[in-house]
Amino acid sequence: MSVQITVNINGEDVTREEEPRKLLVHFIRETPGLTGTHWGCDTSNCGACVVLMDGKPVKSCTVLAAMAQGHQIRTVESLERDGRLDPVQQGFHELHALQCGFCTPGMMMTARALLDANPDPSEAEIRTAISGGICRCTGYKNIVAAIRWAAEHPATVEQEA
């Protein structure tokens, strides 16, 4: 039986008739223009599906869309604003922090939440923060460096509070 579910994604309400069993990751990805959130292991291990829920990173494969109603969801598409990259995106670009790109949206959203809470994280803090994400290409070194780069270049883009 379908019910009406409204989820606020990147500041806009998205309303659809869905079964309650619809997972948030699929609700997001089936919204036109929002396939940046990746659907990976489906078992809350890999972190490719990480989005922010009220500013905190969550694995959207293990949240029901219905449970996200009334909460603010932020996906990777919200990072770039008016054609200008978020410092996290710029850092990934500058320091070559991705190869295949599959883990990247989850890594970047986790990094964004980390920097919002802790603008000057140590390497150890960065490594702990991204430990819920699996990258099979980079060996993490460049991802950690990219997040440090973003921490050191916060003013390159104006960010909303």
Partner 1 sequence: MQTPAPFEYERATSLAGAIAALKAAGAEARVIAGGHSLLPMMKLRLASPERLIDINDLESDLAYIREQQGEIRIGALTRHAELLDSELLAEHFPVFRDAEEVIADPVVRNRGTIGGSLCQADPGEDLSAVCAALKAHVVLQGPSGERIVAMREFQLGPYVTVVAPDEILTEVRIRTSPGAGSAYEKVERRAGDFAIGAAAAALEIEGGTIAAAGVALSALAPTTIEITRAEELLRGARPSEELFEQAGGIASEDCAPMADGRGPVDYKRHLAGVLTKRALRRAAARALQTEA
- Residues making contact with partner 1 (CB under 8 A): 1, 3, 19-21, 23, 42-44, 47, 50, 56-59, 62-64, 66-67, 70, 110, 128-129, 131-133
Q: How far apart are CA 13 and CA 52, in angstroms?
A: 15
Report the nearest approach of partner 1 to the CB of residue 68 (Å). Answer: 10
**CB nearer partner 1, residue 84 or residue 120:** 120
Edge-to-edge strand ranges of the sheet holding 50-53? 12-18, 3-9, 72-74, 50-53, 56-59
Rg (CA), the chain: 15
**CB nearer partner 1, residue 130 or residue 150:** 130
CB atoms within 10 A of CB 127: 14
**CB nearer partner 1, residue 100 or residue 117:** 117
What one-letter code names the amino acid at 119?
A: P
Report the nearest approach of partner 1 to the CB of residue 83 (Å). Answer: 29
